[in-house]
Amino acid sequence: YGPAEYGPAGQGRLEALSGRLGRRKGVGGPKKERRRTESINSAFAELRECIPNVPADTKLSKIKTLRLATSYIAYLMEVLAKDSQPGDTEGFKAELKKADGRENKRKRE
């Protein structure tokens, strides 16, 4: 096996390698991706249930869910720091405002 067998700059070898790798990637791809997506969506659904003071019929995007969750965690950390009553979620207000300018811009595109 010398470089001459693969043509100029080893193109044949590169094509052979990429062809082998490409075939492996396709095996079970869609099924695996579907399971991964279902798993992520399930995790987001569980996370949404943990955020207090959000009406059940409120549809939250993934980014909004993450932002509310981080806000709630920050609130809980403040409560612990102040040594307040545990379990008091009334002080946490889930801000469900309209999407900010960046999110609106993305939706329009």
pLDDT at 89: 64
d(CA 95, CA 89): 14
pLDDT per position in the chain (109 positions), as tens? Answer: 555 555 555 556 666 555 555 555 556 789 999 999 999 999 999 999 999 999 888 899 999 999 999 999 999 999 888 875 556 666 777 777 765 555 555 554 4
d(CA 72, CA 42): 20
Nearest partner of 48 among 27, 64, 32, judged by Cα: 64
pLDDT at 17: 58
Positive or negative, the Cα torsion across 73, 74, 79, 83? positive
d(CA 57, CA 96): 12
Q: Around 22, how many Cα atoms within 13 Å sit in the side-chain half-sphere? A: 6
CB 13 within 8 A of CB 6: yes
pLDDT at 109: 46
User: What are the extents of the domains in the chain?
Assistant: 51-108
